[in-house]
Each structure stands twice: as C-alpha cells, then as structure tokens.
Amino acid sequence: MRSTVEDLTTRARIRDAAIALFGRDGFSRATVRAVAADAGVSPGLVIHHFGSKEGLRQACDQHVLAQTASQGKEKADPSSTRHLIQDYLNHPGQYADEIAYIRRSLGDESDAGNAFFDAVVDQTQGIIEAGIEAGTIRDFEDVRSTAVIIASNSLAMLVLGRHLSRALGTDSGPGTDASETGGISPDLLRQLTLPALDIYTHGFYADARFLDAARDALQHNNATTQGREHAP
C-alpha cells in the first residue's frame, strides 16, 4: 500500500513523522518542532497544514485507524485473536510505527485507542461466535464478557510488551527492533505461545473449586445486596 520510496506528499510525510514520534515519545513529549525536523520541513509548515498540534493528532488518529481497520478486514480469517498481534509482527518494521502509536493511544485518553480496542473486541466476539458454531471454541454463557477478556489478554501483550520481555530475560537491549514494537520480539512471542495456548486449552486451575467458590460468593453477595435493598 505504502511505497517504500519517499514519494509522499509533504503533508503525508509530516503526518507519518508525527505518528512515529507520538508513538515513541507520547503526544505531550513529542514537539511540533521535532516532527518538523524529522519530516524535513519548518515548524510553521506543520501548523499551516494541520492548524494546530491537536489537529495533527487527529489526522494521525484518523490515518492509523484507517490503516488498521482495512488491515483488520483483510485478516479477519485467522481463528485466534492471538494471530492479530502476530500478523502485525510478521511485517517487520512496516507497521512498527502504527503499533507504537496504538500502544500509546490505548493508554492515553484517545479516540483512536477507544476505536481500536472496540474493534478488537468486536472482531474477537465474531471469532468466538464462529468458533462456538464450528465446535472449536467452548460455548460460553456470556460471549461478550468473554470476548472482552480475551481481547484484554491479547492487547496486554501489546501494552505491556516491554515488561514481558524484561521479565523473561529475552531483552536484547535498546536499539533492537523489538523496542520499536514496544518490546515484543518474535522470540518472545515464540516463548509465550505454547504456555498461553496451554492455558487456553486446558485451563489454569487443576479443578473447578475456585470457580465454584466464586460462584457461591457472588450469589451470596447478590442475596445480601437484595436483602439490604428491602431493609436499608
């Protein structure tokens, strides 16, 4: 989609530089001057094109969202949400800036972060419903909540990637291409795939005692609450 040669319009070059810098340093730390320098233009031109720094941010939001949305449509096939992250990582460097941008957006108060998370949840829910139909995924009572949990677990690898690699000692130090994607390296993903799938296949607990206990506790809680409603 994007040509490797630098034949972009100046406006697009500024926007891409901003996406990279906002993702790397965060929106408030990244300055218009730095964006301009990276894009090879004057600071004034950045404002001329986008009106303000906030306008630049919205243009970045919109562009990253459009990129990942079209990407999501193409890759709607794979059976596991895990593949969503993995697919991005298989394009080494090409989507690194967008990944970092989304990672920041998920932490900030951002329209792009909200939309991206919701899109992942919706896609996950679709996968679960199809999997239940096909008999490959268990038939859950609350599909929506389950989808939120699975999406949350998957995106945790994106948001906490830096910590994952450090905790596993797979960190190859700064400057590696892993740092560009928030710490998730192909090696790290390989190390975590089987343990994660193991939990998703056979569970984490040895039996259902914790689940049963929680069910009882919640029912007792509800009963107490209802009782208090009648006698406050």
Partner DNA sequence: GTCTATATAATGATAGAC
Partner DNA sequence: GTCTATCATTATATAGAC
Contact flag: residue 153 with a second copy (CB under 8 A): yes
Token duo for residue 118: 């919701």
Q: How far is the CB of 93 from DNA (least distance, A)?
A: 26
Which of 12, 34, 37, 149 binds a second copy (CB under 8 A)? It is 149
Contact flag: residue 41 with DNA (CB under 7 A): yes
Contact flag: residue 208 with a second copy (CB under 8 A): yes
Q: How far is the CB of 52 from DNA (least distance, A)?
A: 3
- In the bound state with a second copy, the residue whose beta carbon lies nearer, of 49 and 152, is 152
| Sequence-separated (6 or more) residues with CB below 8 Å from residue 159 | 103, 106, 107, 182
Could you say which of a second copy, DNA, none residue 45 binds, taking C-beta under 5 to 8 angstroms by partner kind?
Answer: DNA
Q: How far is the CB of 10 from a second copy (least distance, A)?
A: 28
Residues within window 118-147 making contact with a second copy, judged by CB under 8 A: 118, 121, 131, 135-138, 140-142, 144-146
- Give the C-alpha separation, 22 to 104, whole Å: 8
- Give the C-alpha separation, 104 to 101, whole Å: 5
Using CB under 7 A as the criterion, what x/- string covers residues 52-81 for binding DNA?
xxx---------------------------
**Cβ-based neighbour number of residue 40 at 10 Å:** 11
Q: How far is the CB of 188 from a second copy (least distance, A)?
A: 10
| Sequence-separated (6 or more) residues with CB below 8 Å from residue 97 | 16, 19, 20, 23, 180
Taking the alpha carbons of 136, 140, 143, 146 in that order, is the dihedral positive or negative? negative
- Give the C-alpha separation, 81 to 125, whole Å: 10
Contact flag: residue 40 with DNA (CB under 7 A): yes
Helix axes 111-134, 96-107, angle to 10 degrees: 100
Q: Which residues form the interface with DNA (CB under 7 A)?
A: 10-11, 30-34, 40-45, 47-49, 51-54
